[in-house]
Chain A
Amino acid sequence: MQQQKSPSFSALVQQVRRDIIRLVAAAKSGHPGGSLSSTDFMTMLYTEFLRQTPAQWDRTGKNMDMFFLSIGHITPLYYSILARMGYFPLEELRTFRKLGTRLQGHPAVEDGLPGIHVATGSLGQGLSVACGAALGKRLDNDPHQVYVLIGDGESQEGQIWEAALFAAHNNLGNLTAFTDWNRQQIDGHVDNVAGLGDLVAKWKSFGWLVLECDGHSEEDLRRAFQETLKPRTKPMMVLMHTHMGKGVDFMEGTHAWHGKAPSAEQEAAALAQLPETLGDF
């Protein structure tokens, strides 16, 4: 069950998880596993920490915080949050993955979907783009933060570590990265596919400040977020311990639901575990 401390937070988390299942089921494709594991993080980012006003959102991110989703495949989560926060109409979620939609399988900017700064999907690239945005903000004397979410499987990409070196070398204290450390990827457990070793030690040795938190605990996430806001001259990595497929018992803790849509029966079974809280799209 979700944490109960903040009803509005947990209600939104649950509705977003419900949206994720319904989006993927309706499209008969998509990526529920990682969407469900990052839901608590994204909900807290957008409701409490990301300084953006949807109506004033601008792709350049001037005078606002910026968020980059490096693991572009978790669009069911991304679009649900953006719609629920008012970046675009909730009804537009019905167009997910359909011909002519702004809600492409992976995030795109060509059709001007508000909230999205860069196209992602080919893994490993978002952290570099976030580094550039952080540099850009420094050049402009813009004190806002740059956030980026990467995956643990994604951290097998060499470009992630190029960016890690670059961010530390350039003292990007306005850059905060989060890793959805759900330990699963398409082909199986990360340790069995291409183990990452000691991820905490790796980020530390690359010159980053490192935090760990329970990515499904509202309190622990909030504590981590608050820690990231303290003035610093180094980039910070928050490694969030999560479970792929969180919130749906038969999807949880397995790679099987990385990129698979549930059948009608499976959808019903999943939604039964995630009752509607804020109204379906």
Chain B
Amino acid sequence: MENTGNKDTRSGFGAGLLELGSTNPAVVALTADLTGSVKMDAFAAAYPHRFFQCGIAEANMIGTAAGLAITGHIPFVGTFAEFATGRVYDQLRQSVCYSAANVKIAASHAGVTLGEDGATHQTMEDIALTRALPHMAVINPCDYNQTRLATLAAAAWEGPVYLRFGRPSVPNFTPVDGPFEIGKAWVVHPGEDVTLLATGHLVWEALEAVRILAGQGIKAELINIHTIKPLDAQAVLDSAKKTGAVVTAEEHLVAGGLGEAVAGLLAQHHPVPMRMVAMEEGFGQSGTPAQLMEFYNLNAAAIVEKVLELKK
């Protein structure tokens, strides 16, 4: 699987949303003064009557989206991941999830790869927050193509969805037509010695790790867990039973992330030695995305290191 050219995942969302404009008249979009940042500008220009600028008032935006959803529309709410979760958690809980409102949260600029703006805007807690919400599906696509497909799938999914993507240009390497199905893990590369479970920007890094490990005689199986909730338990268990060792990789804190979701599953059903590539604790900081991924050990080298810990 090769990089066909770097692209930002948020633009994959923007492309998907624009397509939905013509294919699904129920789709509407809302933002809180971040139209361009979350790549809603093309949709806003093409479908102005279905686009709602809410101003810097995220709580009201979530509630308004719930009202639109109740009346049969499919609202995509776009803002930065930090403001789409921490700032509006109670609105997500009561007006969206507990109210079974079919709202799609389009959360851009997730993780440390937001970069220079620093920790105020770099949520590394959002997967934990959204995973804990009953009925919320949590999706963290890995590149432009997958984010576009995830956006289309989110519109077709009945119920609230947290769609997490990012700001930086990263390798675009997944096939333009998928496969992508919410809740169904994707085996990117089969192997038998160790299972790599990766989500978001870490999938490309994990693919790099597969290549490095192959050079050392370790056949790693890479599975893309784009849907963290509902987790594809069968895919995780099948692979863990085959390889007997699991390393997870995500751009998120250890607390409540993909690693803990997998650990919770394996601990109860098939315990195997496991390591997590994730941010241990604390907040991020300013820097380029590449610098920050390296600083916080969120890259191929970190994945290889964890695998070698398990396989030594």
Contact = CB atoms under 8 A, between A and B. Distances in A.
A53 B55 CA distance: 36
Contact of B63 (A121, A125, A137): A125
B142 interface: no
Interface in A109-146: 109-110, 117-122, 124-137, 139-140
Per DSSP, are chain B's interface residues mostly helix, strand or loop, or mixed?
helix
Interface of A: 59-62, 66, 68, 108-110, 117-122, 124-137, 139-140, 158-159, 162-163, 165-166, 169-170
Interface stretch (B64-72, B122-130, B230-238): B64-72
Contacts, number: 118
B94 A162 contact: no
Contacts of A60: 70-72
Given A134-B67, A136-B67, A140-B72, 16 more contacts: A61-B70, A61-B71, A62-B72, A108-B98, A128-B63, A129-B63, A129-B64, A129-B95, A130-B67, A131-B67, A132-B65, A136-B70, A136-B72, A158-B59, A159-B59, A162-B59
6 closest Cβ pairs, A-B complex: A132-B67, A128-B63, A136-B71, A162-B60, A162-B57, A132-B64
A159 B62 CA distance: 10
Nearest to B135: A110
A62 B63 contact: no
Nearest to B49: A139
A102 to B, nearest CB: 14
B28 interface: yes
A165 B55 contact: yes
Nearest to B50: A139
A110 B100 CA distance: 7
Contacts of B101: 118
B22 interface: no
Residue of B55, B70, B72 most packed against chain A (CB within 10 A): B70
A140 B71 CA distance: 9
B91 interface: yes
A137 B71 CA distance: 7
Interface in B96-153: 98-101
Contacts of A136: 67-68, 70-73
Contacts of A120: 94
Contacts of B72: 60, 62, 136, 140
B52 interface: yes
B218 interface: no
Contact of B68 (A119, A125, A135, A169): A135
Contacts of B64: 128-129, 131-132, 135, 163, 166
